């Protein structure tokens, strides 16, 4: 990796201020985060070269977990080592985390006013459309990289079926698809990497906060392909298994993860809030984001070797389309929890707005929330 010449590296205070600013204004998910980081680090401040930044994107996309969060941590690590990574990562994450916990307290309150419940129901109605949009955006690049189209479609279908059928064990299917591609190409697995996902995917025996921490660990360590792939896992655990929240509350949680700055993985903080209040939300977020820091701090010096590994590339060529299928499959499970006819109308409108007209996610969810408020004012039934 090359570095810009004669550009002084920022101090920790500057990293805290600039990464915190992106954490406050980074609405729009990973594309917005990457754009803001590139503008700051490469174009405006010239702290990193364009090649160094692009290498960081490629390396972070090979890791499980929220890629844009890992990129923010990686850029800060390149500038100020471990201390920079910790300061930059925390300042990037914390603003959105605080905001989503405040919104969770408002929207999950048992005595919330009708307009709040309507906004939650309206935004939640559009979440399935957001899942379809997220999957559709990933398809072209993944299909271009595919070495074998039939296997690519097979992995896609398996991922979609797993999201609908197996819930919390979805990650086992994703790992199996990656290992299958390794076998087809006759590439040896990369050391013991396959054992950790299988171990972490095992069901948790603990209850209470222990179960919450286990779910958050799986969210942070096993979300191959971005935040949306963990939606089926979280839905199965938080709604079906542990009953921390209702299905309608879960769709609200996903919507809040989309309209707040920061990564979609922040949704786990809402699940944590439902399970254990503010302490539960903070615990879930801390456990979910810890793997991202660990991956960068421990793996950063080896990113070039990881990217050039034939085994890693083959694994993600199998797991990648399965992830896309799982994201698309999650749309069905999210749509099936809608209760009222007007919510399906909102879903149809959001699908057209996002998928056909290619509009933004944040605006779509805010518009859907406004339709929910109108439904509440009109006296339509609410979940």
pLDDT at 193: 45
Residue count of the chain: 383
Is residue 4 within 8 Å of 47, Cβ to Cβ? yes
Count Cα atoms within 13 angstroms, Cβ side, for 157: 6
What tokens does 94 get? Answer: 């914390």
- Backbone CA torsion sign across 308, 313, 316, 321: positive
User: How many C-beta neighbours within 10 Å does residue 222 have?
Assistant: 22
Q: pTM surpassing 0.75? A: yes
Query: What's the CA gap between 261 and 26, in Å, rounded?
Result: 5
Closest CA to 357 of 108, 148, 129: 129
pLDDT at 112: 80
Tell the residue number behind the tokens 């070269």, with chain if given: 49
pLDDT at 262: 75
Residue by residue, pLDDT tens for the chain (383 residues) are 444 555 678 999 999 999 999 999 887 777 778 888 989 999 899 999 888 888 788 778 777 778 889 999 999 999 999 999 999 999 999 999 999 999 999 999 877 888 988 998 899 898 888 888 888 887 887 888 888 889 999 999 999 998 888 876 777 888 889 889 989 888 776 554 444 444 444 444 456 788 899 889 888 887 765 667 778 778 888 998 889 999 889 999 988 988 888 777 889 999 999 999 999 999 999 999 999 999 999 887 777 777 677 887 888 888 888 888 888 888 898 898 888 999 999 999 999 998 888 888 888 888 999 999 999 999 999 88
Q: DSSP of 315-381, one letter per residue?
A: HHHHHHHHHHHHHHHHHHHHHTT--SHHHHHHHHHHHIIIIIS---HHHHHHHHHHHHHHHHHTT--
pLDDT at 198: 42
125-135 burial: b if 16+ Cβ within 10 Å, else e: bbbbbbbbbbb
Provide the 8-state DSSP code for 49. -
pLDDT at 236: 83
pLDDT at 240: 83
Q: DSSP of 311-327, one letter per residue?
A: HHHHHHHHHHHHHHHHH
Count Cα atoms within 13 angstroms, Cβ side, for 376: 20
Rounded to 5 degrees, what angle do the CA atoms 32, 267, 208 make? Answer: 155
**Does residue 278 sit in helix, strand or coil?**
helix
319-328 burial: b if 16+ Cβ within 10 Å, else e: bbbbbbbbbb
Query: What's the CA gap between 205 and 54, in Å, rounded?
Result: 41
Q: Which long-range CB contacts under 8 A does 219-222 form with residues at least 24 apart?
A: 219/265, 219/268, 219/288, 220/65, 220/265, 220/268, 220/287, 220/288, 220/289, 220/290, 220/291, 220/292, 221/64, 221/65, 221/196, 221/197, 221/291, 222/64, 222/171, 222/174, 222/197
What tokens does 119 get? Answer: 């906004």
Question: Distances in Å between the alpha carbon of 382 and those of 241, 326, 338, 365, 379?
Answer: 24, 29, 10, 17, 9
Query: What's the CA gap between 319 and 312, in Å, rounded?
Result: 10
Closest CA to 273 of 98, 80, 125, 41: 98
Q: DSSP of 24-48, one letter per residue?
A: HH-TTSHHHHHHHHHIIIIIIS--S
Query: What's the CA gap between 369 and 255, in Å, rounded?
Result: 9
């Amino acid at each position: 990796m090359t570095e810009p010449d004669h550009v002084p590296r920022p101090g920790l205070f500057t990293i805290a201020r600039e990464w915190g600013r992106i954490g406050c204004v980074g609405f729009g998910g990973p594309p917005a985060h990457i754009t803001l980081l590139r503008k700051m680090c490469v174009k405006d401040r010239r702290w990193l070269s364009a090649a160094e930044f692009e290498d960081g994107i490629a390396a972070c996309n090979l890791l499980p977990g929220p890629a844009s969060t890992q990129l923010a941590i990686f850029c800060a690590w390149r500038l100020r080592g471990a201390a920079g990574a910790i300061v930059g990562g925390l300042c990037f994450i914390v603003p959105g985390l605080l905001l989503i916990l405040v919104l969770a307290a408002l929207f999950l309150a048992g005595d919330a006013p009708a307009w709040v419940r309507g906004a939650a129901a309206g935004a939640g109605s559009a979440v399935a459309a957001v899942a379809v949009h997220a999957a559709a955006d990933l398809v072209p690049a993944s299909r271009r990289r595919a070495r074998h189209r039939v296997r690519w479609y097979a992995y896609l279908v398996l991922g979609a079926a797993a999201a609908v059928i197996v819930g919390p064990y979805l990650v086992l299917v994703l790992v199996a698809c990656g290992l299958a591609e390794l076998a087809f190409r006759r590439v040896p697995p990369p050391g013991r990497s396959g054992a950790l996902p299988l171990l972490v995917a095992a069901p948790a025996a603990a209850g209470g906060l222990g179960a919450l921490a286990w779910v958050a660990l799986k969210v942070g360590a096993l979300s191959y392909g971005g935040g949306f792939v963990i939606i089926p896992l979280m839905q199965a655990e938080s709604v079906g298994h542990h009953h921390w929240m209702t299905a309608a509350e879960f769709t609200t949680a996903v919507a809040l993860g989309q309209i707040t700055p920061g990564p979609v993985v922040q949704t786990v903080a809402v699940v944590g809030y439902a399970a254990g209040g503010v302490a539960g939300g903070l615990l879930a977020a801390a456990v979910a984001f810890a793997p991202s820091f660990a991956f960068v701090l421990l793996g950063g010096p080896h990113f070039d070797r990881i990217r050039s590994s034939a085994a890693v590339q083959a694994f993600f060529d199998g797991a990648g389309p399965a992830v896309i299928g799982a994201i698309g499959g999650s749309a069905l499970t999210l749509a099936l929890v809608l209760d009222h006819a007007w919510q399906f109308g909102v879903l149809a409108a959001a699908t057209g707005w996002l998928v056909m007209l290619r509009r933004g996610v944040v605006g779509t969810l805010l518009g859907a929330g406004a339709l929910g408020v109108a439904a509440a004012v009109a006296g339509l039934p609410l979940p």
